[in-house]
Amino acid sequence: MNLILFGPPGAGKGTQAKKLVDFYGIPQISTGDILRANVREGTELGFVAKAYMDKGDLVPDEVLIGIIKNRLKEPDCKIGFILDGYPRTVSQANALEVILDEINKPLDVILNLEVPNKKLIERISGRLICRNCGASYHRIFNQPKKEGICDICGDEIYQRSDDKEESVQNRLNVYKMQTQLLIDYYFKKGILVTLEGNKEIDEVLEDIKVVLAKLA
């Protein structure tokens, strides 16, 4: 199964991707997690990316295209993949099509999670993530079993630096101006499925599984 989880910041892409990894055993490829890992490890890529990420701007396309090209060629993607946070521009989507043609892995579906803006802000401002594995929690809606500790890997959870109020509004604007138009791009290709993302986490998961079951 080759799929994209799509939607604005805070839509629940990362949350659902982690659950789908557990259920289907295919890898999650989160460009946000990859970039944050580079920032944490102090790589040159991390240094470049941090300036964009902290402001809520997109990291340049050529950087992201290079990352995705290498990642999709790794052996674990042979059985499928869940893209989370990529593509975000038409140029990234076009590049993806070329890469997937090359490795002969056509996309099965784009799952577009729809959530009202007010809810997105509420979700992002309360979010905490794991420093190690990137799992998402929420101070109210999705608390870890033990305060400050990731349920999955036991590492520390923290607030992302781009979840500050001043970056959040910019991220939502960037989504609207540069990323949202991909909905129409994939609709025209006939592989877009839009789902109500403003439901309980497990309800959204069930809706996703129904869509994916029809593809299997």
Applying CB under 6 A, does 52 fall inside the site for ligand AP5? Answer: yes
The token pair at 13 is: 């892409």
Residue number of the CB atom closest to Mg ion: 14
Decide: is 56 part of the binding site for ligand AP5 (CB under 6 A): yes
Catalytic residue numbers, as ranges: 13, 88, 127, 160, 171
How many amino acids of this chain bind Mg ion (CB under 5 A)? 1
Q: Give the DSSP letter string of 179-198.
A: ITTHHHHHHHHT-EEEEE-S
Q: Give the count of alpha carbons within 13 A of 170, CB side only.
A: 13
Instruction: Classify residue 98 as exposed, middle or buried by CB count within 10 Å of its CB (0-12, 13-18, 19+).
Output: exposed
Question: In this structure, are residues 153 and 130 in contact, taking their beta carbons and an 8 Å threshold?
Answer: yes
Residue 11: CB minimum distance to Mg ion, A: 9
Minimum CB distance to ligand AP5, residue 9 (Å): 3
Stretch binding Mg ion (CB under 5 A), from 6-14, 53-61, 92-100, 144-152: 6-14
Instruction: Mark the segment that binds ligand AP5 (CB under 6 A) among 20-28, 39-47, 95-103, 195-203.
Output: 195-203
Residue 192 — left, alpha, or beta (φ > 0 → left; ψ -120 to 50 → alpha)? beta
Q: How many CA atoms lie within 13 A of 167 on its CB side?
A: 19
Among 6, 9, 182, 186, binds ligand AP5 (CB under 6 A): 9
| Chain position whose Cβ is nearest to ligand AP5 | 32
Give the Cα-Cα-Cα angle 48, 49, 50 (nearest 5 degrees). 95
> Toward Mg ion, which CB reaches closer, 96 or 171?
171
> Scanning residues 78 to 117, which ones bind ligand AP5 (CB under 6 A)?
85-86, 88, 92
Chain centroid offset of residue 52 CA: 17
27 binds ligand AP5 (CB under 6 A): no
Which spans of this chain sit near Mg ion (rule: CB under 5 A)? 14
